């Protein structure tokens, strides 16, 4: 069976296929009385929407969400909230000649084996990045809940191919910087970097190829005390969701793999006492741990980075196999695909972070903060 249900205290169930009539999500466990700004939700959906420029797929989808339950007079009702998104620009004919030819880098072969050849192959079916649109909707709902608690989440393009943006300051990143990222098509610190990234993507596109990237995410104003050892750590739950996003191949928290080259005296985040509105709070001078110790938030910004692989479908000839005849073949795959998935993955990572943090808040209730 295909299972696309996530969560402990809120549960989301993602449904649909890339070339089906619609895709959507059911969010179960939402508290009643969350005021939802539908314009903000539309803005979030637009961040991920395809077909906006040459740097993304040319599939044109409006990605308008129709909320069909769990929402009344501007507020959540407490019953399951369901949002659906119509698929209006399908071109399934592009997949007619490859239903038995396994695309390198895709889930075609593994899906064929796992589901005995019954999985929808058009556009990747349920394995498609198209299924991240409902996740962005669910994340937009969660983000409005978190905004009421003063939590800010934002992601920028740390790297596209060989082009590197400056990293966030893990101690002093501000809410305004993260808000600025959410309002940018290419969220980076400098306009010059954005232009170089566009050139990198366009170069791959013109070469009938694709390019990957690294995204850096920060979550601000989390209280200390969220998360539990061992298997309910903040890292465990965040990584489990993030790795469920198509094309994600790696995640690291804080200084991540760079910690391997440090000594303990350098890697340890030393404490000091900070005053906030007359309240004394322990803080750390550095943030190599990424705001998490022992799987539990320590009050510093939570920082993590996500590796997004290059788009698998490219227009270069590739060697593969015909699963019916069991013969080797070479094929040029058609279709409309992003030359760089990382750009449109930014709001998806924001959504994942919001959903995980909301789930943690609902678990801990008033025990933290």
Annotated binding site: 48, 126-128, 294, 309-313, 336
Question: Looking at the domain assignment, is residue 68 inside a domain?
Answer: yes
Instruction: Walk along the chain (369 residues) and give the pLDDT tens digit of each residue.
Output: 556 899 999 999 999 887 788 999 999 999 999 999 999 999 999 998 876 777 666 666 778 999 999 999 999 999 999 999 998 865 656 666 778 888 898 888 998 899 888 877 776 777 788 889 999 999 999 999 999 999 999 999 999 999 999 999 999 999 999 999 999 999 999 999 999 999 999 999 999 999 999 999 999 999 999 999 989 999 999 999 999 999 999 999 999 999 999 999 999 999 999 988 888 999 999 999 999 999 999 999 999 999 999 998 888 999 999 999 999 999 888 766 789 999 999 999 999 999 999 999 999 875 554
**Which residue ranges make up the annotated binding site for NADP(+)?**
48
Contacts of 255 (CB under 8 A, 6+ apart): 262, 267, 288, 290
Instruction: Return the CATH number at 323.
Output: 3.60.150.10
For residue 274, is it within any domain?
Answer: no
Phi, psi of 63 (to 5 degrees): 55, 40
- In this prediction, residue 91 carries a pLDDT of 64
Helix (H) or strand (E) holding 26: strand 22-28
At residue 366, the pLDDT reads: 52
> Does some domain include residue 187?
yes
> Could you give the residue ranges of the DSSP H alpha helices within the chain?
38-48, 108-114, 132-147, 175-182, 191-206, 234-242, 264-267, 341-364
Task: Confirm if 306 and 217 have CB atoms less than 8 A apart.
Answer: yes
CB atoms within 10 A of CB 110: 12
The rounded distance, in Å, linking the Cα atoms of 116 and 118 is 6
Is residue 94, in this structure, part of any structural domain at all?
Answer: yes
Q: Is residue 37 part of a domain?
A: yes
In angstroms, what CA-CA distances link 57 with 111, 301, 309, 340? 23, 33, 16, 9
- Binding residue positions for FMN: 126-128, 294, 309-313, 336
User: What are the angstrom distances between the C-alpha of 258 and each of 83, 135, 266, 300, 301?
Assistant: 41, 31, 11, 19, 18
Instruction: Using the CB atoms, write b or e for 207-222: b if 16+ within 10 Å.
Output: eeebbbbbbbbbbbeb
Number of domains in the chain: 1
DSSP 95: G
Residue 123: closest CA among 133, 138, 114: 133
Residue 92: predicted pLDDT: 58
Both tokens assigned to 107: 């889930």
Residue-range definition of the domain harbouring residue 131: 5-254+289-367
Residue 262 included in any domain: no
Structural domain includes residue 261: no
Rounded Cα distance between 212 and 97, Å, is 27
Query: Cα separations (Å) of 31 from 268, 319, 335?
Result: 39, 51, 41
155 Cβ contact list (under 8 Å, min separation 6): 181, 187, 215, 216, 217, 218, 346, 347, 349, 350, 353
276 lies in a domain?
no
pLDDT of residue 327: 94
Bridge partners, residue 81, by sequence:
27
Query: Could you give the angle at the alpha carbon of 164 between the alpha carbons of 159 and 166, nearest 5°?
Result: 105
């Amino acid at each position: 069976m295909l299972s696309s249900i996530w969560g402990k205290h809120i549960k989301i169930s993602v449904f649909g296929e890339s070339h089906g009539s619609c895709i959507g999500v059911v969010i179960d466990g939402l508290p009643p009385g969350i005021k939802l700004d539908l314009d903000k939700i539309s803005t979030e959906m637009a961040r991920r929407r395809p077909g906006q420029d040459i740097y993304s797929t040319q599939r044109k989808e409006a990605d308008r969400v129709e909320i069909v339950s769990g929402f009344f007079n501007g507020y959540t009702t407490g019953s399951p909230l369901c949002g659906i998104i119509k698929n209006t620009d399908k071109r399934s004919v592009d997949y007619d000649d490859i239903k038995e030819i396994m695309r390198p880098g895709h889930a075609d072969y593994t899906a064929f084996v796992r589901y005995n050849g019954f999985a929808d192959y058009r556009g990747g079916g349920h394995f498609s990045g198209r299924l991240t649109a409902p996740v962005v909707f669910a994340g937009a709902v969660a983000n409005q809940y978190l905004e009421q608690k003063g939590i800010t989440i934002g992601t920028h393009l740390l790297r596209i191919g060989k082009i590197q943006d400056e990293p966030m300051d893990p101690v002093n990143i501000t809410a305004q910087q993260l808000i600025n990222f959410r309002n940018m098509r290419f969220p980076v610190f400098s306009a010059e970097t954005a232009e170089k990234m566009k050139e990198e993507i366009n170069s791959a596109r013109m070469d009938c190829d694709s390019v990957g990237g690294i995204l850096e995410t920060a979550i601000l104003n989390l209280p200390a005390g969220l998360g539990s050892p061992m298997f309910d750590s903040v890292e465990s739950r965040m990584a489990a969701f993030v790795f469920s996003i198509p094309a994600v191949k790696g995640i690291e928290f804080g200084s991540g793999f760079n910690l391997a080259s440090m000594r303990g005296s350098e890697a340890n985040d030393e404490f000091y006492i900070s005053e906030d509105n007359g309240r004394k709070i322990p803080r750390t001078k550095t943030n190599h741990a990424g705001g998490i110790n022992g799987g539990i938030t320590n009050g510093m910004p939570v920082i993590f980075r996500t590796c997004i692989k290059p788009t698998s479908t490219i227009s270069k000839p590739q060697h593969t196999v015909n699963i019916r005849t069991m013969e080797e073949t070479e094929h040029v795959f058609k279709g409309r695909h992003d030359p760089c998935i990382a750009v449109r993955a930014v709001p998806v990572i924001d959504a994942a972070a919001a959903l995980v943090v909301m789930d943690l808040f609902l678990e801990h209730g008033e025990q933290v903060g």
